[in-house]
Amino acid sequence: MNDKGRRTRVVVTRPAGEAARWVNELEALGFDALALPLIDIVPPLDPAPLVSARSRMSRYEAVMFVSPNAVYGFLGQGAFEELASAALVAGTRAWSPGPGTTRALQLMGWPSDAIDEPAPDAPQFDSESLWVQIEKQVQHGNRALIVRGANAEGQPAGRDWLAKQLRAGGVVVDEVAAYRRVCPELDAAERGLAVAAASDASVWLFSSSEAISNLRELLPAQDWSAAHAVATHERIARAALLAGFGRVAQSRPTLESVAASIESVS
């Protein structure tokens, strides 16, 4: 609720599936939340590497899923039932950068005691916080698979910090794209909503620097100096400031922290 007694409008920019959950949870807390996905999730251009990686899952000591979409793209369409059971018997662990990915793994059927993730009180949910938890289990000669996204052209996208850490420790690292992240097309109503939210005291919720980049591509002439934003990582907050957002708050990517940060900028 803002200081004029109106419900604060929150524009959730996550991909559609994730955005829907956040909208529901923010609505339950009293916010006027709506989804405006700024990243579309689509299948890989070539599914062959994904099929091959699935068939080798039990050969890895660990499989790192960079996001919920990585989980659904890799373990969906019957892949969990067909292949993950063999990986679990072999002792393969799932690595998750945060609660959202862990939740997706659990929904697919991966046992909680075979998942490693950052500590609940970690300052951020990311690869660095995950590394604190898994560093001692990593041994020279281990094999790890990183399941990630690709850009619209099918090239690997996202940070490679964890892959570098693993390789420096003698781990054999393979990577595969389970999906592509592409810039969406906004219809007239969505464009109107975005333009209005640039100056009507709405709060933009960003969980990806790529969403900000896509927004700038979609509305290249828009002035964001009167816009408010909450970003769930320091890197994303910097991207919002560079895009010209007038007020930006940084938050841990938990519902409670995000809600408090929204209140702080609304």
Q: Does residue 1 fall inside a structural domain?
A: no
**Counted domains in the chain:** 2
Listed residues 152, 182, 212: the one ending a domain: 182
User: Does residue 266 contact residue 207 with C-beta atoms inside 8 Å?
Assistant: no
Q: Does residue 2 fall inside a structural domain?
A: no
User: Does residue 1 contact residue 31 with C-beta atoms inside 8 Å?
Assistant: no
Q: What is the pLDDT of residue 124?
A: 86
Q: What is the pLDDT of residue 248?
A: 98
Listed residues 133, 159, 182: the one ending a domain: 182
Same domain, 118 and 152: yes
Q: How far is CA 165 from CA 24, 70, 134, 173, in A?
A: 37, 20, 11, 10
Per residue of the chain (266 residues), give pLDDT as tens.
555 556 999 999 999 989 999 999 999 999 999 999 999 999 999 999 999 999 899 999 999 999 999 999 999 876 677 677 778 888 999 999 999 999 999 999 899 999 999 999 988 889 999 999 999 999 999 999 999 999 989 888 778 899 999 999 999 999 999 999 999 999 999 999 999 999 999 999 999 999 999 999 999 999 999 999 999 999 999 999 999 999 999 999 899 999 999 999 98
Same domain, 46 and 175: yes
- The torsion of the CA quartet 255, 260, 261, 266, rounded to 10 degrees, works out to 120
Angle at the Cα of 150 (from 146 to 154), degrees rounded to 5?
125
Same domain, 63 and 189: no
Q: What is the pLDDT of residue 198?
A: 97
Q: How far is CA 262 from CA 1, 26, 90, 234, 266, in A?
A: 10, 10, 44, 16, 6
Q: Does residue 3 fall inside a structural domain?
A: no
Same domain, 144 and 234: no
Listed residues 130, 151, 182: the one ending a domain: 182
C-alpha–C-alpha distance, residues 264 and 3, integer Å = 11
Q: What is the pLDDT of residue 187?
A: 96
Same domain, 143 and 176: yes
> What residue numbers bound the domain in which 171 lies?
42-182
C-alpha–C-alpha distance, residues 116 and 125, integer Å = 12
pTM across the whole model: 0.86
Same domain, 23 and 132: no
- CATH of residue 61's domain is 3.40.50.10090
